[in-house]
Amino acid sequence: MPQATPLLQVENLIKHFPADSTRWFAKSKEFVHAVDGISFSIPAGEVFGLVGESGCGKSTAARLILRLIEPTSGKIQFDGMDWLALGEKELRRQRRVMQIIFQDPYSSLNPRMRIGAALAEPFEVHKVCSSRAEVRSRVEELLQMVGLDPQAFGRYPHEFSGGQRQRIAIARAIALKPKFVVADEPVSSLDVSVQAQIINLLADLREEFHLTYLFISHSLPVVSHLCDRIAVMYLGKIVEMGSRDEIFRNSGHPYTRVLLSAVLPPDPKPKSSRIVLRGEIPSAVKIPSGCRFHPRCPIADAHCAEAEPPVETLSATHWSACFKVNEAAQLTAK
C-alpha cells in the first residue's frame, strides 16, 4: 500500500439537506442526513471504491468533493490544498485536475453539440492548444485512446450507443490529463456486454496516465475489478473500509457480508446461499438510534439500538464499525 501523502483527504464530511422542502407544512427542523460524517484518504495512483445501496449518499459525497455543492461541515484536502477554502476563480483553474464521469452518458453530453466540438471544449476553455489544428489532433488522439473511430468527429451524441457515449464522456474527463477522476456509477446504465469494456478502459487509462480514481457503484462485483481499497456506505456513513482482499475475503461488517451474499452468481447450483435481509434502507431523515443498521441487522442485539458502534481496527488497512465484528466475520448464509 503506497503510504505517500494522500492526493485526497476527506475528514468528517457532513451534508444535511433540509427535508421535504416542497411541503411548506413540514416540520422545518428536519434534515436529510445524506452524508453524515465520512472520512477517508486516497493516495495518488489508487482506485478507491465507494459502495452502497441507492440513497446511501454516494453521489452526494461525489458532488461535495467536486464542490458542485457545499458541505454542512468537514474538511477536504486535495493535492496539498485546503480544497474547501478555494475561491471561485482558483477553483475554476483547479477544476481541470479533478474530473467526473456520471452514470448517465445520455444527459452528460449536449445533444446539439457534435462530439468533436464537445471534446475540443476543454482544450479551448483552458487555452492549452496554440492552433485549431492542434485541437483537432488532440481530439483525434482522445477518440483513439477511448477506442472510438477518430473520424467520428462530426457526429452527434444520439448517433452513438450508450457504451460509446460513455467512452465520449470518459474522453472528455481525461482530455486535460487530470490527476483525479470521480466516476459515479459509470457502468450502471450500460448493457452487460459493454460494462466490461468500460471497466477495462478505465483500468487501461489508469495505467497509462497514473490516474487516481474515486469509483462509486452500488455493485460490489463491479468495483471488485478495479479498486485497490473499498469503503462500504450505509445511510450516510462508512461502515467498513479495507483493501479489496480484506473486504471480499474477510469482511467484518454484517452489512458488507449481506451485500456480498446478495450477489447472484451466474450459476444455477448454489440456490440457497443468500442471507436475505428484512426491510429496506430507512429514510435518511429519521436515522435509527445507535447503530444505524440495527433494524435490519441479522445479528443485532439490544445494545446495538442504544449506542453507536466504535471503529474496530482489524488490520492496518481494515476497520469495521460494529460491536460484534467477531460474530460478523462468521456470518454466512444459513
Partner 1 sequence: MFRDKIPPTSAFQSLVASLDFMDSSLLQVSDLHSVFHVAGGRLRAVDGVSFEIPSRGTLGIVGESGCGKTVTALSILRLLQPPAEIESGSVLFRARNNAGSKKKGPGESEDRPALDLLKISERRMRRIRGAEISMVFQEPASALNPVLNAGDQIAEAVRAHEKVSRKESWDRAVAMMEAVSIPDAARRAKEYPHQLSGGLRQRVMIAMALVCRPQLLIADEPTTALDVTVQAQILELLQSMCGQYDLSMLFISHDLGVIAAVADEVAVMYCGKIVEHAPVEELFANPRHPYTQGLLRSLPTVTLGEMPTRKLEAIPGSVPNLMNLSVGCKFEPRCAVRLEECKTFDPPLYPLGKNHSTRCVLCRPT
DSSP code of 243?
A: E
Task: Kindly list the residues in this chain that would bind ligand ADP in the complex (CB under 6 A).
Answer: 17, 32, 34, 52, 54-60, 284
Nearer to ligand ADP, 57 or 242 (CB): 57
Nearer to ligand SF4, 19 or 331 (CB): 331
Q: What residues have CB less than 8 Å from 307, skipping those under 6 apart?
A: 290, 291, 323
Nearer to ligand SF4, 147 or 288 (CB): 288
CA dist 179 and 236 (Å) reads 26
Query: At its nearest, how many Å lie between Mg ion and the CB of residue 162?
Result: 15
Nearer to ligand ADP, 56 or 170 (CB): 56
Q: How many alpha carbons fall within 13 Å on the CB side of residue 182?
A: 22
Which residue matches cell numbers 495518488?
Answer: 44
Nearer to Mg ion, 59 or 99 (CB): 59
Task: Kindly list the residues in this chain that would bind partner 1 in the complex (CB under 8 A).
Answer: 53-54, 161-164, 191-197, 199-200, 203, 218-222, 224-225, 244-245, 248-249, 251, 257-269, 271, 274, 276-278, 280-281, 296, 332
Q: Which of 47, 50, 309, 318 binds ligand SF4 (CB under 6 A)?
A: 309
Query: At its nearest, how many Å lie between ligand SF4 and the CB of residue 237?
Result: 11
**241 within 8 A of 222, measured Cβ to Cβ:** no
Per CB under 6 A, 138 contacts ligand SF4? no
Query: At its nearest, how many Å lie between ligand SF4 and the CB of residue 33?
Result: 17
Q: How far is C-alpha 249 from the geometric centre of its chain's CA atoms?
A: 21
Per CB under 5 A, 212 contacts Mg ion? no
Query: At its nearest, how many Å lie between ligand SF4 and the CB of residue 239?
Result: 7
58 binds, among ligand ADP, ligand SF4, partner 1, none (CB under 5 to 8 A by kind): ligand ADP
DSSP states of 63-99: HHHTTSS--SEEEEEETTEEGGG--HHHHHHHGGGEE
CA dist 4 and 289 (Å) reads 38
Query: At its nearest, how many Å lie between ligand ADP and the CB of residue 151?
Result: 37
Per CB under 6 A, 231 contacts ligand SF4? no
The H helix count followed by the E strand count for the chain is: 10, 12
Q: Which of 38, 46, 55, 59 binds Mg ion (CB under 5 A)?
A: 59
- CA angle (210 as vertex; 214, 216 as ends), nearest 5: 15
Nearer to ligand SF4, 92 or 303 (CB): 303
Nearer to ligand SF4, 135 or 328 (CB): 328
Q: Which residues of 105-127 are buried (b: 16+ CB within 10 A; e: fewer)?
A: bbebbeeeebbbbbbbbbbeeee
- Number of residues that make up the chain: 334
Per CB under 6 A, 235 contacts ligand SF4? no
Query: At its nearest, how many Å lie between ligand ADP and the CB of residue 331?
Result: 24
Q: What residues have CB less than 8 Å from 96, skipping those under 6 apart?
A: 122, 126, 176, 178
Per CB under 6 A, residues contacting ligand SF4 are: 254, 291, 293-294, 297, 299-300, 304, 309, 322-324
